[in-house]
Amino acid sequence: MLLDPVKRRQFDSVDEEADVLPPTKKQQAKGNFYKLWGNVFKAEARFSKTHPVPPFGDDKSSKEDVENFYNFWYNFDSWRTFEYLDEDVPDDNENRDQKRHVERKNASARKKKKVEDNARLRKILDDCSAADERIKRFRQEANAAKNKKRLDKEAAEKKAQEEARLKKEAEEKAAKEAEENAKVAREANKKAKEAAKNAMKKNKRVLRGSIKDANYFVTGDASPATIDAVLGDVDLVQAKIEADEVAALAGKLSGLKLADEIKGVWKGEVERLVAAGKLKDGDAKTLAA
């Protein structure tokens, strides 16, 4: 029988001496988990149609190696058969019905034993994987990576929200400051305009006052016509010069009391405007004579 490959395989399929029972929880607690279970799968590997059979490994095995091991065994293709346990088939040719009955009974028994053996192997795998610290560790690492990804996403969202809040606050602050600066600028501009307007009024009073101080450039009482003519020429000159020029002219006239000095300043201004093309010869003649 041992020399016949078919009968030898049938015998090996039910050779209890070659079986290695799964370790108990007590044995696992005291012994080397990987060695104990490695021996179990090494014994089971003798039934594999596919070779090489992945080793059980140890605590340093990679996640890929562990997954390959369990994938192989959960899809295990076994050649194990149970013909060796068949009930003897009668050789009596006269009792063919009995022979067929026994053959059907044996086929059914083999099928049942095959199903039971598959279930046995599945339970071994389930028990082993449930106690395998590597799987627990890989699952924890996967959960940690998943949680980290979730926490990183939450942190990124929180950061984005905070940045958006800060940006909004900065924009609101900038808008408020811009409005305040614009308000200050408007106030300053208004004050500057008021100051310039007041300065212009003051300078114009100086210009007109200088004419009055010079008695409208006549001896004795000035007639209304003379006053109107001189003031008309003063207005003409003022209309041709800018505010800073008015201020400069007022500065020259300020403090002067002598008619000749006042007349000299006005004459010089008229000549300057004529030279600049802002007045024609003969314009403002009461001031230039």
Supply the pLDDT for residue 17. Answer: 77
Encoded tokens for 32: 């080397």
Between CA 236 and CA 152 the distance in angstroms is: 79
Q: Is the pLDDT of residue 217 over 80?
A: yes
Encoded tokens for 51: 């070779």
Supply the pLDDT for residue 3. Answer: 84
Supply the pLDDT for residue 92. Answer: 66
Q: Is the pLDDT of residue 126 over 70?
A: yes
Give the residue-averaged pLDDT of 189-218: 91
Domains along the sequence of the chain with CATH: 5-131 (no CATH), 198-288 (1.10.8.840)
Q: How far is CA 91 from the centre of its chain?
A: 84
pLDDT digits (tens, 9 = 90+) for 49-108: 999 999 999 999 999 999 999 999 999 999 999 888 888 877 766 678 888 888 899 999
Do 210 and 234 meet the contact criterion of CB atoms below 8 Å apart?
Answer: no
Supply the pLDDT for residue 18. Answer: 80
Q: Is the pLDDT of residue 253 over 80?
A: yes
Residues sharing a CB contact under 8 Å with residue 22, sequence separation 6 or more, in sequence order: 37, 40, 124, 127, 128
Query: Can the peptide bond before residue 52 be classed as cis, meaning omega within 30 degrees of 0?
Result: yes
Between CA 62 and CA 69 the distance in angstroms is: 11
Quote the percentage of the chain above a pLDDT of 90. 77
Encoded tokens for 249: 């002219």
